[in-house]
Amino acid sequence: MESQYKLHLGNTKNILDEMIDRGEKVGMIFTSPPYFAFRKNYSGNDDGEIGAIHVDDYADWFLEFTDRFLKVLEPNGSFFLNINDKIDNGVVHPVLDELKYKMSKQGWYLVAKPYIWFKKNSMPTNCKYRAIDRYEYVFHFSNSTKPKFRADNCRVEHSEVTKRRLKSEITTINSRDGVYNTKKVTLNEKGALPHNVVITAAESNPSVLHPAPFHVELAEWFVKIGSDVGDTILDPFAGSSTTGVAALKHDRKFIGIDLVEFNINFGRNRIEHLLSTGECYIPKNMLEEYGIDVNYYKVKGKHINNP
Ligand SMILES: C[S@@+](CC[C@H](N)C(=O)[O-])C[C@H]1O[C@@H](n2cnc3c(N)ncnc32)[C@H](O)[C@@H]1O
């Protein structure tokens, strides 16, 4: 049987070039790349070829990846990008505007307002001039203005207010001539359409050893809404393979790429654990049984590449 997932160790640009040469395609991309840095001289980690990218160079650095994403994405495919703003010397740096503009020139369509990933909990921070940051963006890019979008997969329960209001006829007003009318509206039995704020906890499961994971429920939501069963989901910066867990849990296939060997091995164990138990996390007390070095990321500055 063809494997449901592939994990590649290496620089994403090289791995994608090989996939492009072989004519391999993916149905959807979901990822969170390394974020930007403000120290020009950050020198990276022991394993990888790069450190964090300086914010002034970030958009151009990232375009070399998005160019390849365009080439591996099937028609009407989506690229969901989880990223956040950064405050530089007291102001929001315009790097994301630069990135969105340059990606549009590259051929990408930004097909929706940013999705908001709202975190129910967050680390306490000391912010003198602004409120605590509790959300990140997920930008929805596509190679088409009509991307595959399966809202039905993410419908939610109708609110009590809506259910109560729609028991009787509702009053509508025709905006052209101002005439009031009444009509009976029936609720969709499958539930209400999802809105663009996705609420999960911040990822705090102690068994996910990666320093910068997103929550598996976030990945699950986007996998369900942007793909069909059997599609292949790519995470080109796979980290602890959270996207892989979400993809396989929902009967999609997965391709993950990371340049840190520890992450690839961790991801493989995490996915195998999911396939054998149905659980998204390896219990903490089983990590060593899987041969995972639980101290790997504890040596901050040595291995960490997302400062
Ligand atoms: C923000 S983390 C992703 C975390 C992931 N979403 C998770 O839930 O664990 C970004 C990852 O990109 C990897 N990475 C950075 N530059 C890379 C490159 N050029 N090629 C492949 N992987 C890269 C890093 O090793 C890191 O694990």
For Cα atoms 36, 39, 42, give the angle at the middle one, nearest 5 degrees. 85
Q: Would you state the pLDDT for residue 51?
A: 58
Residue 66 Cβ contacting ligand 1 at under 6 Å: no
**Where are the domain boundaries for CATH 3.40.50.150 in the chain?**
5-155+194-298
Q: Which residues contact 206 (CB under 8 A, 6 or more apart)?
A: 284
Q: Is the CB of 239 under 6 A from ligand 1?
A: yes
209: closest CA among 123, 156, 270, 132?
Answer: 270
The token duo for 295 is 């101290």
Greatest Cα pair distance, the chain, in angstroms, is 72
- Residue whose C-alpha is closest to residue 135's, from 121, 125, 145, 148: 121
Query: What per-residue confidence (pLDDT) applies to 149?
Result: 98
210 CB less than 6 Å from ligand 1?
A: yes
Does the CB atom of residue 257 touch ligand 1 within 6 A? Answer: yes
234-272 pLDDT tens trace: 999 999 999 999 999 999 999 999 999 999 999 999 999
Q: Per DSSP, what are the bridge partners of residue 31?
A: 81
Cα of 266 from ligand 1 centre, angstroms: 13
Predicted confidence at residue 162, as pLDDT, reads 86
CATH number of the domain located at residue range(s) 5-155+194-298 in this protein: 3.40.50.150
The DSSP output letter for 286 is G
* Closest of 87, 108, 91, 90 to residue 99, by C-alpha: 108
Tell me which residues of the chain have a pLDDT lower than 70.
Answer: 1-2, 38-52, 299-307
Please, how many CA atoms are within 13 Å of residue 207, restricted to the half-sphere of its CB? 20
pTM value is 0.91
